[in-house]
Structure 1
Amino acid sequence: MNEPASPPPKGRGTGQNPTPRYARQARLADPADEPVAGPRTVVSVDATRSVLTRNDSPDLPFNQSLNPYRGCEHGCIYCFARPSHAYLDLSPGLDFETRILAKPRAAQLLADALRKPGYRCQVLAMGTNTDPYQPAERNWRITRSVLELLLDCRHPVAIVTKSARVCRDIDLLAELARQELATVFLSVTTLDADMARTLEPRAAAPQARLDAIARLAQAGVPVGVLVSPIVPALTDHELERILEAAHGAGARFAGFALVRLPGEVAGLFQDWLTHHHPLRAAHVMNAIRASWRGELASSAFGERQRGHGPQAQLIAQRFDLACRRLGLGQAPQLATQHFRPPAGGQLGLGF
């Protein structure tokens, strides 16, 4: 159950911290807790022993992914990854955006996986769950270390991010791109800076993302725009404008995803609407349900990204028409034939 509606702290997506669904005991507020007005971000080490995640979903354009961080300080209120924090006995609410787990051994663990005799090279996706260029990356530099490894072994990578910090790694991305080994998607939800400040409070401003597209394109990195998520009755009217702005900045391919609100995200998002758009809240929630067979999300293959029903179909048609008009196509195929396993690994006994 969600806590009563409350305004989020400044710079955060939510002020709620609902009890994780797997917790044995419910949480109660402690007067000695840090005041909600200024919750700090705490980054700790994730002691994971593997970093590759594989999937067989026909809705996703990749089969394997790597996320350098668990939790995301960007604080996007709609983020479908929020419920994953419950597996850590942390809340999908404020904990998700303030309790970040970093994987400093990600490059080393990835190298171990790539050395295995049975490994077959295929595109590695980054940014599929949490952002690889969220604020923690400034100091931890885990994403950069992974890119350095991928460049060394000529392994293809596809990145999705909301952060202009991706431009820090233009040197690596440009060299990867020169060998047909990299693509980057900048995710743009809205061009309205005021909307973005509450919807995605610590992500890059919309104009900064467009500027990042321009810088990547100028460096020769294949770059596209991901209009995601589209929120019916809230941001869907911006679809064509976002595609036009991204194309003007240098994007040459595009994708989109309809908002879905699994698990605890539904209550958090509805609370956000109540505070920021009270007169539209009911209409927006009804419009989302109309796109998911009366629900707020779906895990069914074939509709997890695009939804279902007339409204979802209309959004898809608008997207396709705008892309054809602008000449926005599909992301280019990346090369896999140049892969060479990383050097090193366990040595033989020398008998």
Structure 2
Amino acid sequence: MDDFFSDDIDPETRRGRGATRNHAGRFEPHTRHRMDDGWEAQDQTPVATQVYTDHPRRIITRNQSPDVPFDRSINPYKGCEHGCVYCFARPTHTYLGLSAGLDFESRIFTKPNAAALLEKELARPGYVPATMAIGTNTDPYQPLEKQHRIMRQVLEVLDAWNHPVAIVTKGALVTRDTDILGRMARRGLAKVAISVTTLDAKLSRLLEPRAAAPQVRLRAIGALARAGVPTGFMMAPIIPALNDHEIEKIVETCASAGASWTSSVVLRLPHEVSPLFRDWLAEHYPNRAHRIMAQVREMHGGKDYDAEWGKRMRGEGVYANLIARRYEAAMKRHGLRRRIAPLDCSRFARPPRKGDQFTLF
């Protein structure tokens, strides 16, 4: 795999992508720059998605963060073609020797053995079930899922084992799996949250260029709710002076579409995400860039990002408190909750296999 890092990428080359740069990650010893010496025209071939196969030894990832309501998750893919410029998961590509910029959204790693690994891990003696979170890092319903169907295979295993699952996605492809999710939901085993950043189609195309359009996500909320799946939405991220004016409208519209619960997260800019987002602002919203970053820093103690637990998701200070109060008021106005009843872990059991003996009781 050829590593390519550059701070200078022609707009035609990156058309349809979120990141404007391909900065080297913080672990790389060198950065390379393109230079036009006048002898040859620069290559303006659009950046194409490259797909690689990853063969992990385990598929369940554990975490102990007090900021999230789960301790285990599955990521069927590394990288995400949606290209959301604000994505806090972008720095994970730097562990692969790749860039958190264009590499993250154009060099995608699939895990075709995810379902087999999951079944093996669930079968281990002493495994104790708890809600499996999917979509917490990269989106399980990004465009490649239509072809690879890894997420559907994972759901089939969870369904067979009566294992609860909570999904977060901005991919409308989730509605393809309403047959499995509806069946699991009737047993108290599934819930889905659709990520809604904005209702403005133009802003959405700039922020998250290959994700489903806002109206398509609203239809996905309705389709899941009609299938009997407990469905909520996340307004994430809330970005001051960019989409914060939409809080009340997004809450109202998603509630009308069928959502019954909701949550929100303020903009997070860890590691390489901060310069990527600032470059994006300079290109698309130069007149607002200073104001936006000033308010972001006000929420994070004067820094682009504060990673301290308890603060990183909500921020702090006057502006963060105002956002929280507005969101809470909008929720109450439309009858939405922050949480729904816990999923059922008591049904967990290995599915019967050929040759298994039946019990008498």
Structure-2 residue corresponding to 1:3? 7
Quote how far apart the aligned CAs of 1:247 are: 0.3
Displacement of 1:97: 0.3
Pair 36,114 (structure 1): closer, same or farther in 2 beyond 3 Å: farther
| Cross-structure match for 1:232 | 240
The corresponding residue for 2:260 is 252
Q: Which residue of 1 aligns with 2:359?
A: none
Q: Name the aligned partner's letter for residue 205 of structure 1.
A: A
1:63 Cα deviation after fit = 0.8
Return the offset for 1:28: 4.0
CA contact (8 A) 2:195 2:233 kept: yes
- Following TM superposition, by how much is the alpha carbon of 1:295 offset from its aligned partner in structure 2, in angstroms? 1.1
Offset, 1:307: 0.7
- Checking the alignment, whether the CA contact within 8 Å between 2:86 and 2:277 is kept in structure 1 is yes
TM-score of the superposed pair, with normalisation by structure 1: 0.94
Counterpart for residue 211 of structure 1 = 219
Q: Given the alignment, which residue of 21, 25, 49 partners 1:16?
A: 21
For 1:129, the aligned partner's letter is: N
Equivalent position to 1:318, from 289, 312, 326:
326
2:195 matches 1:187:
yes
The alpha carbon displacement at 1:112 in A equals: 1.2
Check the 8 A contact 1:10/1:37 in 2, yes or no.
Answer: no
Give SS of 1:275's match.
helix
Where do 1:23-62 residues align within 5 Å? 23-29=28-34, 35-62=43-70
Per-residue deviation at 1:33? Answer: 12
User: Is the 8 Å Cα contact of residues 53 and 66 (structure 1) preserved in structure 2?
Assistant: yes
| Deviation of 1:50 (Å) | 1.0
- Rounded to whole Å, the distance in 1 between the matches of 2:298 and 2:7 is 26
Structure 1, unmatched stretches of 5+, are none
Does the C-alpha gap of structure 1 residues 139 and 316 become closer, same or farther in structure 2, counting only changes over 3 Å?
Answer: same
- 1:121-148 per-residue CA deviation (whole Å, 9 max, x = no partner) reads 0000000000000001011100000000
| Preserved contact between residue 163 and residue 204 of structure 1 (Cα < 8 Å) | yes
When the two structures are aligned, how many residues end up with a matched partner? 345
Q: Which amino acid aligns with 1:3?
A: D
2:340 matched to 1:331? yes
Q: TM-score, normalised by structure 2?
A: 0.92
After superposition, what is the alpha-carbon deviation per residue over 1:74-127, rounded to whole angstroms, capped at 9, x for unaligned? 000000000000000010000000000000111111111111112100000000
Paired with 1:47 and 1:36, the residues of 2 have a C-alpha distance of 33
1:145-184 pair list within 5 angstroms: 145-184=153-192
Cα distance between partner residues in 1 of 2:67 and 2:143: 29
CA distance in 1: counterparts of 2:44 and 2:128, whole angstroms: 48
Q: Structure 1 residues 104 and 240, CA, compared in 2 at 3 Å: closer, same or farther?
A: same
1:258-297 equivalences in 2 (<5 Å): 258-297=266-305
Partners of 1:34 and 1:121 in 2: CA distance: 54
Q: Which residue of 2 aligns with 1:196?
A: 204
Give the Cα–Cα distance (whole angstroms) in 1 for the partners of residues 104 and 321 of structure 2.
32
| The 10-residue stretch of structure 1 (326-335 or 4-13) with the greater mean CA deviation from structure 2 | 4-13
Moved more, 145-154 or 33-42: 33-42
Q: Is the 8 A contact 1:224 1:251 kept in 2?
A: yes
**1:110 has 2:115 as partner:** no
- Paired letter, 1:182: A
Q: Distance in 2 between matches of 1:33 and 1:69?
A: 35
Farther-moved stretch of structure 1 (292-301 vs 115-124):
292-301
Q: Deviations over 1:206-247 (max 9, x none)?
A: 000000000111111110010000001111110111110000
Supply the distance in 2 between the matched residues of 1:5 and 1:46 (Cα, whole angstroms): 28
Q: Distance in 1 between matches of 2:188 and 2:151?
A: 19
**The 10-residue stretch of structure 1 (25-34 or 227-236) with the greater mean CA deviation from structure 2:** 25-34
Q: Is the 8 A contact 1:2 1:267 kept in 2?
A: no
Deviation at 1:10, TM superposition (A): 1.8
What is the CA distance between 1:287 and its match in structure 2?
0.8
Secondary structure in structure 1 of the residue aligned to 2:292: helix
Structure 1 residues 342 and 30 mapped into 2: Cα distance closer, same or farther (>3 Å)?
A: farther
Q: In 2, are the aligned partners of 1:254 and 1:331 still within 8 Å (CA)? A: no
Instruction: Please state how far the C-alpha of 1:15 moved relative to its aligned partner.
Output: 3.2
CA RMSD across the alignment: 2.0
